[in-house]
Chain A
Amino acid sequence: MPDLLKLATAGSVDDGKSTLVGRLLYDTKSVLADQMEAVERATQGGGDPDLSLLVDGLRSEREQGITIDVAYRYFATPRRSFVLADTPGHVQYTRNTVTGASTAALAVLLVDARAGIIEQTRRHVAVMGLLRVPRLVLAVNKMDLVDHDENTYWRIAKEFFGLTEALGYAEEDVVAIPLSAKKGDNVVLRSDNTPWYEGPTLLEHLESVPVAGADHSAPLRFPVQYVVRPRTESHPDYRGYAGLIAAGTVRAGDEVMVLPDGQRTRVEGIDTFDGELDAAHDGQSVVLRLADDLGIARGAVIAAPGAPEPVTEFDATLAWLHEKPLKPGARLLLKHGTRTVQALVGAVTHRLDTETLTLDEDPGELAINDMGQVSLTVSEPLPLDDYDVVAATGSFLLVDPQAGDTLGAGLVGRPLVAAALD
């Protein structure tokens, strides 16, 4: 069974992202005949089919001629299956980049070889770095328009490596590939036009890059979603705690603590529909039975002993996703794992200047697409981890208590301050 790579793409308008994604789908034969016919019909003025039309989505976008939302694409090769979060490049849609990056194991950033690294590229790299997307690919597109010039490629690649190094990326986690989405050079098939380039094509890289293996040695974090109490004839007294293991490994017999109260107990059994397990890892949906009945409800976190003390006051980096700006003193809802609590916004201490990737102090508020540092107070103690230590329990949403809209995405701790290129 092939494994699964979740990736995100980002680029500025007209860098050729739709064409590149269309090219990947087309060259991996993921485009079916009826879709291709529709594209051929829609291609203006005949000629080669415009592959960007394959990934063109909602009608409102077609009318505006831009992509305005995250779209998910699926393609597969014999070696791997891919879920691609296609995120648009418009400046005002940085929030979509954040959304796509939140689940990506790899990000492909696109630049136009004629323009090189621009502000939008810096912003995207900063977002990817902040969310700790494990691997980055720079696609230097439209190489056909710069005569496949090696020096142009290297100049752009070096500038990019400079940025990623500053954000803490190791050399082996970043590659830059010269390609032409329109003509197909180095996307799936190796190009004769770039004999000086010895690296992989984009698809070769996507197929072979090690998928960051789940870190089973992380400390256990298991947010309880639902209490299973059948009260049926076959299971009159059964009580189990259902959830998805957010981090680490759990074994039958393990000592655990239940947060936020901190009671200790032992895992008596790990149940699934398909039978009992001795151990289970992050990413698995299971039901845990515990030795003691501690009155646990949805929202509790079953954790390895030694988890940080739950807190009611903490610092966080926010990506602001909503037109309504964030102001100090705002009363919001905060969703962390399976628990939703009230939150009060204290000071907004920093805002990232995406042009210079430096921090502005005391910006007063955060507007849509801003990233900034805030202090928060919550109504009940939360079992938080630093995002950089355990991302799954170090992330949260801020929600409008009236309208219900998702307003912001939060990373516990001060990753923004740590990442800024001061």
Chain B
Amino acid sequence: MTAAAVETLHTDQLDALESEAIHIMREVAGEFDRPVILFSGGKDSMLLVHLARKAFWPAPIPFPVLHVDTGHNFDEVIAFRDAVVERYGLELEVARVQDYIDDGRLEERADGTRNPLQTTPLLDAIAEHRHDAVFGGGRRDEERARAKERVFSLRNAFGQWEPSRQRPELWNLYNGRHKPAEHVRVFPLSNFTELDVWRYIRREGIELPSIYYAHTREVFSRDGMWLTSGPWFGPRDDEEVVAKTVRYRTVGDGSCTGAVESDASTLDEVLDEVRESRLTERGATRADDRLSEAAMEDRKREGYF
């Protein structure tokens, strides 16, 4: 029996992905002092919470969740986040971009986008709570720079990702050693694809915020994407608001997360749509990733994901 054959599981693919994610979460619980789950209420972070419940059952999840709140939120998502926290008795930490803007530590960008502003509040929250492991929902299929991401991704005291310090990962032996003030980002969903995520959501009956399903919304077009109109998001004078039937494929800062035109109002319809989709999740919906080819790599080096 080889390690390779152990990897090639007899059980079906979702079972294998689930077992792998649970194994990763338990390794972190066993080896780190103060882990935290990044939790936005979006689908990937809902998957993390669901997997953590499974990993430690019948005990409650042994670590808190952290939301980096850009202040540009979809109301539905915040309400959903709070309901989940309540239902599972989670401890919620919130780092607010708005606080930083209010007291001048951060400056609003000309384009109004707040995704790039999340890094400082995130790193401050990690330092303040002395988190040594931070679970993220990143997947390797999302983007080229992510294809090489480790499951355990070492960050220096500035939260930065240094290519030369990333460690080879063999078998399922993860090396989480780090120095004081450094931390490790951990990606239990590394080997899920977008389609796996949706299949798993269906199989497990995981509830999601309503904006993932088709609904009518006032939107305007910017950079080839449908952005929602709202207090923070726009539109500018030259941008025309129209009502469209849309849904979101990712949930992020409202000012730069685009909706896609879609009639998929049920989980099965969403699955069909994802299967047929001709665009990557990020290409379709994230303005900030489209700024440049290497945008993601640069942000990772800075300490964002």
Does B240 belong to the interface (CB within 8 Å)? Answer: no
Q: How far is the CA of A225 from the CA of B173 in the complex (A)?
A: 12
Q: How far is the CA of A406 from the CA of B195 in the complex (A)?
A: 33
Q: Are the C-beta atoms of A285 and B3 separated by less than 8 Å? A: no
Set of chain B residues within 8 Å of A232, measured between Cβ atoms: 58-60
Does A139 belong to the interface (CB within 8 Å)? Answer: no
Q: Are the C-beta atoms of A57 and B8 separated by less than 8 Å? A: no
Selected from A105, A228, A282, the residue in CB contact (under 8 A) with B1 is A282
- Chain B 289-305 residues near chain A, CB threshold 8 A: 293-294, 297
Q: Which residue of A lies closest to B59 (CB)?
A: A230
The 0/1 profile, CB within 8 Å of A marked 1, for residues 170-210 of chain B is: 11110101110000000000110101000000000000000
Selected from A2, A133, A242, A406, the residue in CB contact (under 8 A) with B168 is A406
- Chain A 124-143 residues near chain B, CB threshold 8 A: 131-134
Q: How many residues of A contact B (CB 8 A)?
A: 91
Set of chain B residues within 8 Å of A55, measured between Cβ atoms: 144, 147
Chain B interface category by residue count:
35 or more
> From residue B132, how far is it (CB to closest CB) to chain A in Å?
12
Does B71 belong to the interface (CB within 8 Å)? Answer: no
Selected from B2, B14, B58, the residue in CB contact (under 8 A) with A235 is B58
The interface stretch among B16-24, B80-88, B94-102, B258-266 is: B16-24
Q: Are the C-beta atoms of A335 and B4 separated by less than 8 Å? A: no
Q: Are the C-beta atoms of A285 and B26 separated by less than 8 Å? A: yes
- Chain A 226-272 residues near chain B, CB threshold 8 A: 226, 228-232, 234-235, 238, 240, 242-244, 246-247, 271-272
The interface stretch among A65-73, A193-201, A376-384 is: A65-73
Set of chain B residues within 8 Å of A285, measured between Cβ atoms: 18-20, 22-23, 26, 55
Task: From known contacts A71-B147, A104-B4, A234-B58, infer whether A3 and B172 are also in contact, taking CB-CB under 8 Å.
Answer: no
Set of chain A residues within 8 Å of B20, measured between Cβ atoms: 285
Q: Are the C-beta atoms of B13 and A1 separated by less than 8 Å? A: yes
> From residue B258, how far is it (CB to closest CB) to chain A in Å?
12
Q: Which residue of B lies closest to A297 (CB)?
A: B30
Q: Are the C-beta atoms of A404 and B179 separated by less than 8 Å? A: yes
Set of chain A residues within 8 Å of B59, measured between Cβ atoms: 228-232, 235, 238
Does A121 belong to the interface (CB within 8 Å)? Answer: no
Q: Which residue of B lies closest to A405 (CB)?
A: B167
The 0/1 profile, CB within 8 Å of A marked 1, for residues 50-83 of chain B is: 0001111111100000000000000000000000
Q: How far is the CA of A406 from the CA of B148 in the complex (A)?
A: 17
Q: How far is the CA of A337 from the CA of B26 in the complex (A)?
A: 13
Q: How far is the CA of A99 from the CA of B60 in the complex (A)?
A: 35
Q: Are the C-beta atoms of A34 and B280 separated by less than 8 Å? A: yes
Does A115 belong to the interface (CB within 8 Å)? Answer: no
Q: How far is the CA of A2 from the CA of B275 in the complex (A)?
A: 14
Q: Are the C-beta atoms of B167 and A102 separated by less than 8 Å? A: no
- Chain A 22-75 residues near chain B, CB threshold 8 A: 32-35, 38, 55-60, 69-74
> From residue A96, how far is it (CB to closest CB) to chain B in Å?
7
Q: Which residue of A lies closest to B283 (CB)?
A: A34
Task: From known contacts A226-B29, A396-B173, infer whether A131 and B3 are also in contact, taking CB-CB under 8 Å.
Answer: yes
Set of chain B residues within 8 Å of A105, measured between Cβ atoms: 4-5, 7-8
- Chain B 136-188 residues near chain A, CB threshold 8 A: 140-141, 144-145, 147-148, 154, 163, 165-173, 175, 177-179
Does A281 belong to the interface (CB within 8 Å)? Answer: yes
Q: Which residue of B lies closest to A98 (CB)?
A: B170
Q: Are the C-beta atoms of B8 and A211 separated by less than 8 Å? A: yes
The 0/1 profile, CB within 8 Å of B marked 1, for residues 197-227 of chain A is: 0000000000000011111101000000110
Q: Are the C-beta atoms of A133 and B30 separated by less than 8 Å? A: no
Selected from B29, B168, B190, the residue in CB contact (under 8 A) with A95 is B168
Q: Which residue of B lies closest to A5 (CB)?
A: B8
Task: From known contacts A212-B5, A285-B18, A392-B3, infer whether A35 and B13 are also in contact, taking CB-CB under 8 Å.
Answer: no
- Interface set of A (CB-CB < 8 Å, partner B): 1-6, 32-35, 38, 55-60, 69-74, 76, 81, 83, 86, 95-96, 98-99, 101-105, 131-134, 211-216, 218, 225-226, 228-232, 234-235, 238, 240, 242-244, 246-247, 271-274, 281-285, 287, 298, 321, 333, 335, 337-338, 389-392, 395-397, 399, 404-406, 409
